[in-house]
Amino acid sequence: MDTAPEPLPLTGERTVPGIAEENYWFRRHEVVYEHLLTRCTGKVILEAGSGEGYGADMIANVATTVVGLDYDASAATHVSVRYPRVKMLRGNLAQLPFADDSVDVVVNFQVIEHLWDQAQFLAECYRVLTPGGLLLISTPNRITFSPGRDTPLNPFHTRELAASELTELLEEAQFGVETMTGVHHGQVLRDLDVKHGGSFIDAQIERALAGRPWPADLTADVAAIRSSDFDIQEADIDASLDLVAIAVKPAVTE
């Protein structure tokens, strides 16, 4: 009898679904997939840095083909077993194993901040995209994620970006930026910010760093979060939690 694959361990580098204490971060990532899913309909998709694979599997509901690419061997194996609709490859994001002009959409959510050569990665995205193809990208907003710091708080991040910096990188890679939006707390999460001393995020981080079991009320509040508790909007971009950009490779003109 077939058995479900073991869940990937939490390392700080990726989000894993199905863990109560991790649910806030999972939903915060999930909302971006939901928001941009229509841009993947009927397309050939590359998810560059597919992690646990839940997002690539969501995209497989609407896309013609979904290829996942990740450098981590355990993640690649996990995706192949758990999400068979995703064609999983292992490889380096600095050298995408695809021909020029061969992919309709590149998806890159919560990954670019982990890369040492962000410009090289974007150049590779530009190369493999078809003319008029899309790069869908999200990343933590440096201004709110690591406020007042020259280096990221997360030890797995190499460089975090503000909206202006992400726009500059995309434009230097010859992309046109169609939209730049941000993820914000909706009313439910704003109420939880107040309930948990001003910052629902800080309350979770403090308990995680303490290395002790979480209080029951905090665990229950985190486990109850849904993707609909987040808002994605263009306004107040510098106050957003995560940046969400749609970039376009220019179409060939006659």
Does 14 score more than 80 pLDDT? no
Listed by start position, the domains of the chain span 20-184+230-249
Sign for the CA dihedral angle at 75, 107, 169, 103 comes to positive
Percent of the chain surpassing pLDDT 90? 77
State pTM to two decimals.
0.92
Q: What is the pLDDT of residues 78-124, one digit of tens each?
A: 999 999 999 999 999 999 999 999 999 999 999 999 999 999 999 99
Sign for the CA dihedral angle at 48, 138, 135, 126 comes to negative
State residue 5's pLDDT score: 60
**Residue 110 DSSP class:** S
CB atoms within 10 A of CB 216: 8
Residue type at 58 in one-letter notation? M
State residue 113's pLDDT score: 94
Residue type at 33 in one-letter notation? Y
CATH number of 20-184+230-249: 3.40.50.150
Residue 230 to residue 105: CA distance in whole angstroms: 24
Is residue 60 within 8 Å of 83, Cβ to Cβ? yes
Q: Would you place residue 254 in the very low, low, confident or very high pLDDT band (cuts 50, 70, 90)?
A: very low
Is residue 241 within 8 Å of 183, Cβ to Cβ? yes
